[in-house]
Chains A and B, each alone.
Chain A
Amino acid sequence: MQDEPTPVELTKSVADFLRSDITPLISGHQAFKLRVAINILDLVTRQLTQEQGSDAEEVERLRALLGIDGSVTDLNRTLADRIARGELNLATPGLAEHLWATTMDKLAVDQPNYASYKRELSRDG
């Protein structure tokens, strides 16, 4: 077991420092790069916070859909192969729901401000 603070706490502290202390000091292209850097740290924080839960649910759905067990990566590879071979398609019960749930979980980490995501989120809520 590793000591604390946790990776999330450490990453957040760097992002907060860059946001509050460094942003006011720079401008132009460097300011743009700094914004990208802060966005990356925020993404990492979201992934560290959410990945475990969403991966577990994804594996659950994939096991039901594919009838086999494995890691989230292996199961995704199998799902991709079966769709490519035409063995699974949108008429397959549960496939569309699975792809929607998985994609929503990805956007929640990658780009939670993306307009399509926000629209679909309001549909869920």
Chain B
Amino acid sequence: MLNQGTMTLIDLANPTRFLALTARVLPWLAGATVILLAIGLYQAALAPDDYQQGATVKIMFIHVPNAWLSMFVWGVMSLASLGTLVWRHPLADVAAKAAAPIGAAFTFLALVTGSLWGRPMWGTYWEWDARLTSVLILFLMYLGLIALWRAVEDPSRAARAAAVLTLVGAINLPIIKFSVDWWNTLHQPASVVRMGGSTLDRSFLIPLLVMAIGFTLLFLTLHLAAMRNEILRRRVRSLQMMQASRQAA
């Protein structure tokens, strides 16, 4: 007997049912995202200034959720890649493909906000700090993956190649992170001023958590919408191919 979880996954394998379900779910998700982000931003605006960093600490409420999602999205893509290679779930490669540009966007925002935060704190827009560097490499890997998707015309062929690469990346990312940490301590011992307090005060923590959940919901909303677009795009493509072959015959 199948349990509930697999039942819904099998149900979702049918793109038409997926489209129908997401059409019902998406407005609620979008609404929840807007409400949570509004609450989070309001609380973030009310949060007290940091005794060392002043008002610039408010960048954190945008920066940290973006950085967390930049890794979370790669995790989602890795799960989807397992779905492509192991279970051959028909929507897995759609999910992986749709997630890549969104993940790249979150990573880019994490880099930009980090660099804007670094300007008043460290006195420079770019510091070869271990975290910044490994996020930059993550960004490069997202771009490479997107380039791979765009380089191959046949979606299913590109899907399997991208799945292998995503999984290799998932194994390699911790190794890269560790080596960059090593490299950084070797080259510049403690020249970077770290954040003032190590433990976050409650007045910072609660808005930060609300923002993190809000951004995760934002990702889910964008991801489901992008998956719908991708399914429809593939349908249009196959209809065009059918029409072209009919005209040729």
Are A and B interaction partners?
no
Residues of A near any B CB (own CB < 8 A):
none
